[in-house]
Amino acid sequence: MNVLFVNLAGAALIAFIVWWFWLSRPKAQRVRENVVEILVEAGTYTPPRIEVEAGKEVTLRFLRKDASPCAEKVIFESLGINADLPLNTPTDVVITPVEAGEIPFSCQMQMYRGSLVATNESPPE
Amino acid sequence: MTTTRLSLSGISCAGCVSSVETALNDVEGVVTANVNFAEHSATIEGDVPVAALLDAVSNAGYGAAELRGIADEGEKEAAEMAHYRTLLRKAAVAAAIGAPLFVLGMSGMLPGLASNDGRLFWLIVGALTLGVLVYSGGHFFTGAWKSARNHNANMDTLIALGTGTAWFFSMVIIALPEWVPPSAQHAYFEAAAIIIALINLGSALEMRARGKTSEAIKRLIGLQPKTARVIRNGIEMDVAIDEVGLDDTLRVRPGERIAVDGDIIEGHSSVDESMLTGEPIPVQKQQGDKVVAGTINKLGTFLFRARRIGKDTALAQIIEMVRAAQSSKPAIGRLADKVSSIFVPTVLIIAVLTFLAWFNFGPSGQAWTLAIVTTMTVLIIACPCALGLATPISIMVGVGKAAEFGTLIRNGDALQQAGRLDTLILDKTGTVTEGKPSVTELVSAGDWKQDELLRWAASIEQGSEHPLAEAILDAASDRQLSLLDAEGFTAIAGRGVMASVEGRRVLLGNRQLMLENDVDTGVVEEVASAFMRKAQTPVFVAVAGDMAGVIGIADAIKADSKAAIRRLQDLGLKVVLLTGDNQATAEAVAQQVGIDQVFADVLPQDKAAKVASLQQQGERVGMVGDGINDAPALARADVGFAIGTGTDVAIESADITLMRGSLHGVPDAINISRQTVRNIKQNLFGAFIYNSLGIPVAAGLLFPIIGILLNPMIAGGAMAMSSLTVVSNANRLRFYKPGEES
């Protein structure tokens, strides 16, 4: 009984890891403003997924609170954009997503990860 | 809300102030805009792109530039130092609990779990360890939780799960011993504390080592003076660098560093630009010459007008370019990125499978212990950081090192490609030669006298901007010849020029131009051939359809070109000379510098096609040129090197910009590229091998074979060392010296 329970729990845990980290994604935060503040702290960008309207300029204002050097840069590899994030100093990255799609961003080591989701729908007023 | 400061130019009265304020206030998003007339600056509050503000001022008829100095590295360093001390303190606290437990445990001096006293003792130890996990390891747990909530997993996840499992399992043993077989009743509090201590210590040491990787950029930032001596309304005053405005007049005294970019308006001096260009000889500067921020005035004193300030100065642009390149990744690093992005969840799955494997198939009586220990060790030993750091940290040091000797590498791909080139095409003029042609010989034909030939040639060259025209005009000026009026000037690309002087049609150019206009060159052919054998370019002059003479123009070969080309050949590169000059002159130059292959008579617009033709033969081609005339060829090449640009870095077409004029910059750039890529490969190999050997060993693969099981504390130490090793290996690149071959 014990053995079966442990094995089932193990299998369920693996299924959960696969689903949670690979198959499911955090809910995107839809933004109407043209400036979005992103907190860089404790290994994560908050909010990690931001939904914006395609074709419209958006300013991502990063505020780094994590002193670890891992957090010191943010890189938008697909756009060739990177920015230094000084500690406790808001740093703006201005992007105009030309078409609908996902633009990932990360730290240099891919540990901090986030994405900008451009859609063709206008966010609700 | 953001505050933006602009420096304004063209502001001369209160009316101007009002116009600019109105223009700025009309920009959507501006909350307030105030113009300071005395400082010629504007302060704008509101979330507005700077470009929109600059456009508004420009449309109102004034000039503006953003006032933003180079980021203060001092603050960054202070924050890093504080973080470093915190990490050391956390490591010390964790070690203070873990180390005695480890030593006493090893010597058998700790009570067992069977007695009530023993359990009470372990309960207190558990509480103390919890304190360690909260104080010294709290950031791992917070990071792991926040990341997990965002469907992300990172190093914090592994450490938190590894040490958390150790603590939790130990507490279960103490609180509910009947749940666990007696053989598995061993507490792992010391492991949790020591792992936390080692990882904090490793992070602190890594941070120290990483600080050294950015030395190059710090040195560049250190070139920016903090203050400048400005003359306003006839009064000289020292002001902070951020307060220097466009068009301000600045005084530079002997030995001072120049604060912003500008043009000398009074005085002269020599300026040491070596810190930016790598060119060791100071450059003479006089009225009208440009000076750039960060360079050092030697002995003279001069006044100059500020033309580029803040982030627009050449120094700021160099810093920005180096920073951007340091953050870019070459193709070689993208595999590691892909692995990094799935690494942690994969390790989590391996950890669960490890637990199940030992639980199901472990030796009887030891299954629980082995399952717990191996799971913990797998979680702790896996290191995504070493993998993630492998490429960026080497790029950071390599690109920074190159910048130190005046070589600006645009991005990681350029760096990787530069080390893999097969063929290097050198443009002749300005690359192999000085780029300053001068008239060396004059031979007239028929009744023409030498001075008359030169006067007529110079007269029609007055409208030309070609370097050869400059040589002819200089020669005429040296002989103090007065020039004639020329009419109907026409330049024919790759041929020469034509115009009318005193009603007679004058042709000046190469043999092709003469042949196409039915001019017989026979009388000067022998002279022209002799010129070409001496690496001189023959310029034919015909007046009214008859040959008037031929002018020999030579461009001196740079003193170190031959040695640099030899270095390139020693690096295994095929070197080709490319020029618009005729074959004989080109071959004469090639022979002098030791080049075997020549592309001569190439029109400017055909240079890119020559690059493409070599690429079609399967060669990876680098092109070295001046960055302006050769822009299409530089862009077409696998790697374009713009040479001798001085401090003018605004060259979009070049992958690599060599700020000094010496051709030695090319082998140096190739060397540092090769060394950096080799360093990345070492790092990637190390990180991949570490993880792919470490994880199976941690999972207990060797236990059934040779009875070895990895201690989780050793795994913690190995994990901390792995990223430190990567950073230290990258730091070796700092010791590269230009001129050293790889």
Q: Can you list the domains of chain A with their CATH numbers?
A: 27-119 (2.60.40.420)
Instruction: Count CB-CB contacts under 10 A for residue B104.
Output: 12
Chain B: give the shortest CA distance to residue A117, in Å. 15
Tens of pLDDT, residue by residue over B568-601, are 999 999 999 998 888 888 898 999 999 989 999 8
Judged against a pLDDT cut of 80, whether residue B69 lies above it is answered with no
| A59 near B CB under 8 A | yes
- Residue B238 catalytic? no
Q: Which residues of A touch B327 (CB under 8 A)?
A: 73, 75, 82, 108
Q: How confident is the model over B167-183, as a mean pLDDT?
A: 82
Q: Identity (one letter) of the amino acid at A70? A: C
Do B152 and A21 count as a contact with CB atoms less than 8 A apart?
yes
Q: Which residues of B touch A43 (CB under 8 A)?
A: 143-144, 146-147, 152, 154-156
Q: Which residues of B touch A91 (CB under 8 A)?
A: none
Question: How far is the C-alpha of B406 from the C-alpha of B349, rounded, in Å?
Answer: 48
| A12 near B CB under 8 A | no
pLDDT-based confidence at B624, cuts 50/70/90? very high
Residues paired with B383 in a beta bridge: none
pLDDT-based confidence at A122, cuts 50/70/90? low
Chain B: give the shortest CA distance to residue A96, in Å. 12
Mutate to test the interface with B, among A16, A21, A94 (most CBs of B within 10 A): A21
Measured CA to CA in angstroms, residue B539 lies from A22, B116, B179, B542, B551 at distances of 71, 107, 100, 10, 5
Quick one: DSSP state of residue B521? -
Tens of pLDDT, residue by residue over B269-299, are 999 988 887 777 788 899 999 999 999 998 8
Q: Which of residues 93-112 of A touch B (CB under 8 A)?
A: 94, 108-112
Question: How far is the C-alpha of A44 from the C-alpha of B105, rounded, in Å?
Answer: 38
Which of A42-51, B321-330, B629-638 is predicted least confidently? Answer: B321-330
Do A42 and B154 count as a contact with CB atoms less than 8 A apart?
no
Q: Which residues of A touch B353 (CB under 8 A)?
A: 10, 14
Q: What percent of chain B has pLDDT over 70?
A: 94
| B144 near A CB under 8 A | yes
Give me B17's structure tokens: 């102030």
Question: How far is the C-alpha of B173 from the C-alpha of B178, rounded, in Å?
Answer: 8
SS3 category, A32: coil
Catalytic residue among B261, B427, B630, B638: B427
Global pTM value: 0.77
Instruction: Count CB-CB contacts under 10 A for residue B372.
Output: 23
Judged against a pLDDT cut of 70, whether residue B648 lies above it is answered with no
Q: How confident is the model over B543-565, as a mean pLDDT?
A: 90
Do B83 and A6 count as a contact with CB atoms less than 8 A apart?
no
Do B152 and A43 count as a contact with CB atoms less than 8 A apart?
yes
- Least CB-CB distance to A48: which of B142, B150, B154? B150
Tokens 């360690």: give the residue: B132
> What's the complex ipTM?
0.81
Do A44 and B146 count as a contact with CB atoms less than 8 A apart?
yes
Per-residue model confidence (pLDDT) at position B13: 67
Residues paired with A73 in a beta bridge: A84
Tokens 């936390």: give the residue: B196
C-alpha of B115 from chain center:
65
Strands A35-41 and B656-658: unpaired
Judged against a pLDDT cut of 60, whether residue A62 lies above it is answered with yes
Q: Which residues contact B176 (CB under 8 A, 6 or more apart)?
A: none
Q: Which residues of A touch B153 (CB under 8 A)?
A: 21
- Nearest Cα to B321, choosing from A105, A85, A97, A80? A80
